[in-house]
Amino acid sequence: MKILIAYYSRTGVIKKLKEKIKKNLEGDDQIDVEEIKTKKKHTFIVWVFKKIFKQKCRIEELKIKNISEYDLIYIGSPSWLGVPLPIRNYIQKIEGMENKNIILFGGSYFPLLLEKILGFTFLLKQGIDNLIDNKGGKVLDNIIISGFLYKNGWLEERVGNKIEGFLGRVKIDISSIKEYYFKKRETKTAYLVLGFISFLLSFFFVFQIIAIFLGWDFLTWEQFSPIFIYSFFLFLIMIATIKIKEALPLIKYIASWTLVSMTAIILIFLDISTPKSFLIFPFLFILLIMAFFKAHGTIIFTGILSVVFYLALAFYSYEISFITNIIGISSIALTTIILIAFIKRENQKFKNIIKITEGLKQEKDILSIKVKARTRQLKEQAERLEAENKKKTEKLKEKLDEMKRFQRLTIGRELKMKELKEKIEKLKKKLKEYES
């Protein structure tokens, strides 16, 4: 198997990772390395400024411009609040990425857990995935380590073991386009859920500080702390779950439980002076949010949870009337049914697009096979014609050599006859002189 490792390293972390990966891959595989270098070096802050405002970067001439001959490509990138400009420029420049299998490895600038909470690792993975997808490639897997700790010599052995285990799991993806896009969609959804929960927790924390500072009638610190710790604990469970590919669908259900239960607890602590019928709206809003992730199973789960927690609030906290409860439950049920119908229709569209894409790929593969067969046929024909021309040339050369030999013989005979004639004439003259 032919492997390419392309990487960009400003501080040396990604270069160290590249060395470890290359060492683990060495064996029967042929490994080539491409270091991506920028024409100008900058500090991290300058790079972030250029990324946000300029979106431009010049890299040095690449040694390997076409990667079509490689079976597996590793791309190493630091995390700079998303995709670094040198990596973006590299992916846009290289050719031959169509249908190629890509592995991403990288290192975080800040502590890894902090970057996961802030969503920076999600931006890196999603950004590179989109760039490669636009070029027709497939990102099979990724590994991100804490560059902040690894750079300072910590976690050396742990990172080595982690990379060794990761490389042992990496396999060339031979799944169909349908399977690949469904896996990709599931992974993307899981990261979107994580990003949303991360944003929500950050907003919740900042809003609590502002509310306390301005003296708003919101939650006290005694009420806020258990809610935030509980939600953050569930968020950490989601971060741990995302490492297990088979468990990715669970993330949406954990997120649904987090949102519904967190909303219910906040409503218990708050003294709501508005009409009790308004209590249904937070649960309807959560249903709309979960619909964004396009999983009807999650919608059904969220709808059931919403009904259970709404009834708990109605009977134990707010003493809502029976009619209002019926209206609230009916609203949740109706919203759930509408959203399920909408999601099924959207999923069917997605399946149709995948089916068309798969058909186009099959036609392309068939055309590619035909082109290769015709190319091979033309090559064989050209070789056959070349061999025939060679034989004809050799025959012509033999005839030419024969003609040259004949010419030499003929010219030699004429010259000899001319010489003999001259000798005869001389002898005749001498004979006449002698007779006279």
For 116-131, the pLDDT digits (tens) are 777 777 778 888 888 8
Q: Tell me the average pLDDT across 9-36.
A: 82
- Are residues 303 and 259 part of one domain? yes
Q: Quick check: is 425 in a domain?
A: no
CATH code at position 99: 3.40.50.360
Question: 105 forms bridges with which residues in the sheet?
Answer: 76, 143
- Are residues 348 and 247 part of one domain? yes
Is the pLDDT score of 301 beyond 90? yes
Q: Quick check: is 433 in a domain?
A: no
Is the pLDDT score of 361 beyond 80? no
Tokens of 380: 């064989």
pLDDT-derived band at 417 (thresholds 50, 70, 90) equals confident
Q: Quick check: is 163 in a domain?
A: yes
Lowest mean pLDDT among 132-146, 220-234, 331-345: 132-146
In percent, the amount of the chain with pLDDT more than 90 equals 6
- Are residues 309 and 239 part of one domain? yes
Lowest mean pLDDT among 162-171, 315-324, 371-380: 162-171
- Are residues 294 and 237 part of one domain? yes
Pick from 157, 183, 190, 173: which is nearest to 100 by CA? 173
d(CA 102, CA 105): 10
Domain residues for the domain of 238 are: 183-364
Q: Quick check: is 45 in a domain?
A: yes
Tokens of 210: 């502002």
Tens digits of per-residue pLDDT, 371-380? 878 888 888 8
Contact between residue 6 and residue 63 where contact means Cβ atoms under 8 Å apart: no
Domain boundary among 306, 329, 364: 364
pLDDT-derived band at 317 (thresholds 50, 70, 90) equals low
Is the pLDDT score of 52 beyond 80? no
- Are residues 188 and 166 part of one domain? no
- Are residues 82 and 159 part of one domain? yes
- Number of domains within the chain: 2
Q: Quick check: is 375 in a domain?
A: no
Amino acid 322 reads F
- Are residues 163 and 49 part of one domain? yes
Domain boundary among 140, 174, 208: 174
- Are residues 200 and 158 part of one domain? no
Amino acid 183 reads K
Half-sphere exposure of residue 143, counting CA atoms within 13 Å on the CB side? 21
Question: Which comes out higher in pLDDT, residue 11 or 253?
Answer: 253
Half-sphere exposure of residue 390, counting CA atoms within 13 Å on the CB side? 6
Q: Tell me the average pLDDT across 307-323.
A: 78
Amino acid 238 reads M
Q: Quick check: is 390 in a domain?
A: no
pLDDT-derived band at 148 (thresholds 50, 70, 90) equals low
Domain boundary among 364, 383, 399: 364
Mean pLDDT of the chain: 80
CA distances from 103 to 25, 84, 172 (A): 13, 17, 10
pLDDT-derived band at 28 (thresholds 50, 70, 90) equals low
Predicted pLDDT at 173: 47
Is the pLDDT score of 114 beyond 90? no
Q: Quick check: is 407 in a domain?
A: no
- Are residues 206 and 131 part of one domain? no
- Are residues 226 and 170 part of one domain? no
pLDDT-derived band at 174 (thresholds 50, 70, 90) equals very low
d(CA 213, CA 208): 8
- Are residues 226 and 107 part of one domain? no
Lowest mean pLDDT among 75-89, 191-205, 235-249: 235-249
Predicted pLDDT at 334: 93
Pick from 15, 119, 3, 23: which is nearest to 67 by CA? 3
Distance from the Cα of residue 152 to its chain's centroid: 29
Q: Tell me the average pLDDT across 88-103.
A: 86
- Are residues 346 and 200 part of one domain? yes
Is the pLDDT score of 136 beyond 60? yes
Q: Quick check: is 419 in a domain?
A: no
pLDDT-derived band at 3 (thresholds 50, 70, 90) equals confident
DSSP for 312-356, written as a single string: HHIIIII---HHHHHHHHHHHHHHHHHHHHHHHHHHHHHHHHHHH
DSSP run (H or E) holding 263: helix 248-269
Question: Which comes out higher in pLDDT, residue 395 or 47?
Answer: 395
Predicted pLDDT at 369: 77
